[in-house]
Amino acid sequence: MRIILKSEVENLGTFGDIVRVAPGYGRNYLIPRGLAAEATPGNLKQFEAEKGAHLKKLQVLRESAEALKAKLDAVSLSFARKTSDEGKLFGSVTAHDIEEGLKAKGFEVERKSIVLPDHIKALGQHKVSVKLLSQVVASVTVDVTKEE
């Protein structure tokens, strides 16, 4: 089944791509969620008419994401956690903790945007990525210290 992507889909493509997918994936997941439309001649014409306005909107989003990235790159979060005598953390620093820390500093970032492969379980400084858009990724410094 050929479809036109209306938004970016992870591991599939970006806005405007015409891709071939399994019929069930297209009919049951992509089309009902508004992520894609079937690639019929009528839909192709309609898409071409709407493409310019959507690209302008994407440019505005990208500019605002770049401005937020510049601010987030300068942010440093500090967390104090209880540790054992050997320096191992009791617990960890999670994406939820980082989200709350950013919220306290005035940044509204969704938890799913915080790229944390595993919880932070060690003392020291760590770099955490925040995916704002597909090509715009900010880096936040997280400092984990021993709680006194």
pLDDT digits (tens, 9 = 90+) for 92-147: 899 999 999 999 999 988 898 999 888 888 888 999 999 988 788 999 999 999 88
Predicted confidence band at 19 (pLDDT cuts at 50, 70, 90)? very high
Q: Could you tell me the pTM of the whole model?
A: 0.72
Q: Are the CB atoms for 74 and 39 separated by under 8 Å?
A: no
Cα–Cα distance for residue pair 145/148, rounded to 1 Å: 9
Q: How many CA atoms lie within 13 A of 1 on its CB side?
A: 17
DSSP label at residue 122: S
According to the model, what pLDDT value does residue 28 have?
Answer: 96
Predicted confidence band at 40 (pLDDT cuts at 50, 70, 90)? very high
pLDDT digits (tens, 9 = 90+) for 54-65: 888 888 988 999
Predicted confidence band at 14 (pLDDT cuts at 50, 70, 90)? confident
According to the model, what pLDDT value does residue 8 have?
Answer: 84
By 3-state DSSP, what share of the chain in percent is helix, strand and coil, each rounded to 5? Answer: 35, 30, 35
For tokens 């839909």, name the residue: 43
- Kindly report the number of other CB atoms within 10 A of residue 128's CB atom: 19
- Consecutive H or E run containing 61: helix 41-73
The domain ranges of the chain are 2-63, 70-146
Q: Are the CB atoms for 35 and 11 separated by under 8 Å?
A: no
* Same fold: 2-63 with 70-146: no
According to the model, what pLDDT value does residue 122 have?
Answer: 86
pLDDT digits (tens, 9 = 90+) for 69-90: 999 999 999 999 888 887 788 8
- CATH (residue range 70-146): 3.10.430.100
- Say which CATH class 2-63 falls into: alpha beta
According to the model, what pLDDT value does residue 3 have?
Answer: 95
DSSP label at residue 59: H
